[in-house]
Amino acid sequence: MPNRSGAGAVTGAVALTLRLEGALVLIGAVLAYRSFGAGWLIFAVVFLAPDISMAAYGFGPRAGALVYNLVHTYLAPAPLALVGFASDVPVLYALALIWTAHIGFDRLLGYGLKYPSAFADTHLGRIGRDPTLRPTPIDG
């Protein structure tokens, strides 16, 4: 389990590679969605829906990380896309592409899978402000 210093997170070229991979997934999903011909309004409405999973943090960091990670891996949108494609249900395929684009976008921005220690502890490094840094008071 990582600590506040970021142990357990990737750094350097590996972190950059994972962010670039996220960018390619985002671009690929958006291009596939565009060629699919679905509407952009539904894309905009659904794009941030996976972030509703953050509400699970209300039950603590362990539950929050579990639910967030389940929703922010390709383990659900990939089979959803396959089912949508195989069963000729276009809405399932479209939703899977939007979901995949969201995950790619998050990875591009450095939002990784969460460790149960805290929301800010991710496999791509610690996100947010460093809680050990305090603002310097202004002398008046």
- 69 located within any domain: yes
Asked if residue 24 is part of any domain, the answer here is: yes
Please give the tally of structural domains in the chain.
Answer: 1
Three-state SS for 114?
Answer: strand
Domain with 88 in it? 13-113
104 neighbors 30 (Cβ within 8 angstroms): no
Tokens found for residue 88: 């000729």
List the pLDDT tens digit at each of the 140 positions of the chain.
444 545 577 888 998 999 999 999 999 999 999 998 889 999 999 999 999 999 999 999 999 999 999 999 999 999 999 999 999 999 999 999 999 999 999 999 999 999 999 988 988 888 876 555 444 445 44
Domain assignment present for 38: yes
Domain presence at residue 128? no
